[in-house]
């Protein structure tokens, strides 16, 4: 059972990202402010849910949250600033767009850069502990999946409809066979342990 808040009586925004370990595509993050009385027994870390449940819960979160927003950092920015900074920047961009100003942030993971004057708390595996972080994990994951499905239509050989840009075997085989796309993260080890000469185009 997830906890409704980290600190009682404080307007908290839960933040999480999706796509940090991918070889292609942007990193997405979401920030969610839930009402104090919010309750949903199905809500959980997005990785513990089926795709169908994630999309069902996305509708509930968007309807019932006091505020929610999604932030994006594309693969070119990731290559320029590194994936950790990009993940945190995506969270900052999500918080930037919230229509309700939170009094504190709770962040999934163990690293974060201060956002303006807001206090923040990092929580390892927070998406399996607190409702607002779990809600953010669902929004980040589903919106990123939607984006990767659109990119799949442009580059079907990489099977992003199934692997969403993660380092699946079929994805790496396609990179070996066809080279990279404009959406690949050139700073990543795209071919894994058997790195070969590759056309970065």
Digit-coded pLDDT (tens) for 27-76:
999 999 999 999 999 999 999 999 999 999 999 999 999 999 999 999 99
**Mean pLDDT across the stretch 124-143?**
98
Per-residue confidence (pLDDT) for residue 201, from 0 to 100: 29
The pTM score is: 0.94
Encode 84-112: b = buried (16+ Cβ within 10 Å), e = exposed: eebbbbbbbbbbeebeeebeebbbbbeeb
Decide if 44 contacts 128 (C-beta within 8 A). Answer: yes
Helices and strands per DSSP (H, E), number in the chain: 6, 5
Instruction: Report residue 196's pLDDT band, with 50, 70 and 90 as the boundaries.
Output: very low
C-alpha separations of 163 from 72, 148, 170, 193 in Å? 19, 9, 8, 19
Instruction: Report residue 193's pLDDT band, with 50, 70 and 90 as the boundaries.
Output: low
Tens digits of per-residue pLDDT, 156-167? 999 999 999 999
Per-residue confidence (pLDDT) for residue 1, from 0 to 100: 86
Instruction: Report residue 195's pLDDT band, with 50, 70 and 90 as the boundaries.
Output: very low
Per-residue confidence (pLDDT) for residue 200, from 0 to 100: 35
Only one residue has tokens 């709770």, namely 106
**Mean pLDDT across the stretch 129-133?**
98
Per-residue confidence (pLDDT) for residue 133, from 0 to 100: 98
Tell me the β-bridge partners of 67: 33
- Tell me the two tokens of residue 171: 């994805």
Decide if 69 contacts 30 (C-beta within 8 A). Answer: yes
The Cβ of residue 181 has, within 10 Å, a number of other Cβ atoms equal to 18
**Mean pLDDT across the stretch 2-17?**
96
Instruction: Report residue 192's pLDDT band, with 50, 70 and 90 as the boundaries.
Output: confident
């Amino acid at each position: 059972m997830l906890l409704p808040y980290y600190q009682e009586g404080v307007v908290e925004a839960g933040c999480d990202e999706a796509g940090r370990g991918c070889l292609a595509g942007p990193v997405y993050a979401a920030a969610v402010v839930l009402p104090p009385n919010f309750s949903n027994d199905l809500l959980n870390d997005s990785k513990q849910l089926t795709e169908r449940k994630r999309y069902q819960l996305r509708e509930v979160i968007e309807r019932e949250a006091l505020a929610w927003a999604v932030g994006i950092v594309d693969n070119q920015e990731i290559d320029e600033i590194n994936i950790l900074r990009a993940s945190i920047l995506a969270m900052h961009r999500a918080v930037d767009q919230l229509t309700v100003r939170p009094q504190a942030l709770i962040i999934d993971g163990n690293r974060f850069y201060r956002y303006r004057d807001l206090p923040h708390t990092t929580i390892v595996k927070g998406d399996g502990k607190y409702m607002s972080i779990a809600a953010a994990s669902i929004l980040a994951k589903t919106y990123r999946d939607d984006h990767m499905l659109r990119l799949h239509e442009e580059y079907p050989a990489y099977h992003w409809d199934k692997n969403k840009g993660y380092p699946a075997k079929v994805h790496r085989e396609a990179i070996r066979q066809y080279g990279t796309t404009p959406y690949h993260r050139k700073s990543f080890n795209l071919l894994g342990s058997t790195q070969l000469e590759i056309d970065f185009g």
